[in-house]
Amino acid sequence: MYNFMYSIPTKIAFGKENITRLPNFVKEFGEKVLLVYGGGSIKKNGIYDTVVNLLKDNEIKYVELSGVEPNPRISTVRRGVELCRKENVEVVLPIGGGSTIDCAKAIAAAYYYDKDAWDIVLNDSLITKALPIISILTLAATGSEMDIFSVISNEETKDKIGIGSEHLFPKYSIMIPEYTYSVPKYQTAAGTADIMSHIFEVYLNGREAPEIQKGFMESMLKTCIKYGPIACKEPENYEARANLMWTSSWAINGFISCGNEAPWPCHAMEHQLSAYYDVTHGHGLAILTPVWMEYILNEKTVEMFAEYGKNVFEIDKNLDAMEIAKQAIEKTKEVYRTMELSDTLRSIGINTKENFEAMAKKAALDGLENCNIPLKQKDIIEIYNRCF
């Protein structure tokens, strides 16, 4: 067991009736809100009208920033900061998935930084303060609703960078599973693959996790494996949507990695796919993950994969450890296939290998050479090639 510091200041309001608490949450911090959202899904599923009516009924003023892109861009963050300053915004209220919440977090932090917002993405120690954030989650995936991270893309430099600061924890997160019923099958599958990857990055980092965290990770993986495919087939299955939503938060809120932090290889490799080709984050991870697993499977790592196979998929423990490990990786692929996620980079529109070297160079900079199971630039290029 290792030593650590741990605190999650975000207050969670889970379940439909909690939406009525929103005005009180806002009034704790101010009376003028920036509503942040993406391409319009929130207007179709009703949450937008519900929120706007609550704000109006409670005399809370609001301005809107719409059109946040999946893989949110720094240009949109800059627009948001300008709006906050011009309109004297006191609270930032994103309604959406990880992209919308991440964009809102970057706006909230850049508001207090008087130079260009991209600076704080390049160097998150410049974040000293942020406007209060109250998030309403509509897609179970990134865990942004309960974590310190924000991932922002720069379309000009082809960079996609994750930042982390305790100032970026939302003050409140409202989580209502019914508002995820409208998430299309593809995004449901990609979101589930993202949650699973957040767990794999810790579970398979080559270090022995404390028993309490190991069991929790296995339970969360089982939850995703059970409910991801169900939510894809039955979008209005409450148990499936609710379990995925709550798992999305706990997979990345810091609990499972207490004292056990290490670089995240699949995320480092995927962020380059998104930066260069604007792909869906979770789908990129679903393609990379099994190939990475096969790449790092050897005599030293076999026990780690065998544990995964026995405890998560209940593979016969009398089999040889290498056999269990291989079956576990095959079963992982099958989970993605069941949710109809394809398994090659070509299938997501990456038709050339020309950027692999540059992408691998940037991914390696994320500390991958220093992982317990190190990946050098040449290893990363090989993984991209095998995914192609």
- 191 contacts ligand NZQ (rule: CB under 6 A): yes
Cα 254 to its chain centre, rounded Å, is 13
- Helix, strand, coil percentages, rounded to 5, for the chain: 55, 10, 35
- 138 contacts ligand NZQ (rule: CB under 6 A): yes
Give me the least distance between CB of 71 and ligand NZQ, in Å please.
4
Q: Which is nearer to Zn ion, 167 or 198 (CB)?
A: 198
Q: Write the DSSP assignment of 137-190 as a string of letters.
A: E-SSSS-GGGSSEEEEEETTTTEEEEEE-GGGS-SEEEE-GGGGTTS-HHHHHH
- 150 contacts ligand NZQ (rule: CB under 6 A): yes
Contacts of 169 (CB under 8 A, 6+ apart): 8, 9, 10, 133, 146, 147, 148
CB count within 10 Å of CB 156 equals 10
Give me the least distance between CB of 88 and ligand NZQ, in Å please.
26
CB count within 10 Å of CB 121 equals 25
* Count of residues in contact with Zn ion, rule CB under 5 A: 1
Write the interaction track for Zn ion spanning residues 181-200; mark x where CB under 5 A is met and - where it is not.
-------------x------
Among 139, 202, 256, 364, binds ligand NZQ (CB under 6 A): 139
139 interacts with, out of Zn ion, ligand NZQ, none, CB within 5 to 8 A per kind: ligand NZQ
- 228 contacts ligand NZQ (rule: CB under 6 A): no
Contacts of 386 (CB under 8 A, 6+ apart): 291, 294, 295
Give me the least distance between CB of 197 and ligand NZQ, in Å please.
7
- 183 contacts ligand NZQ (rule: CB under 6 A): yes
- 147 contacts Zn ion (rule: CB under 5 A): no
- Cβ burial 56-92 (10 Å sphere, 16+ → b, else e): eeeebebeebeebbbbbbbebbbbbbebbeeeebbbb
Show contacts with ligand NZQ in window 18-57 (CB under 6 A). 38-41, 45
Structure tokens at 299: 């005599």
- 254 contacts ligand NZQ (rule: CB under 6 A): no
Footprint of ligand NZQ (CB under 6 A): 38-41, 45, 70-71, 96-100, 102, 138-139, 141-144, 147, 149-151, 179-180, 182-183, 187, 191, 194, 252, 267, 274, 281-282
Footprint of Zn ion (CB under 5 A): 194
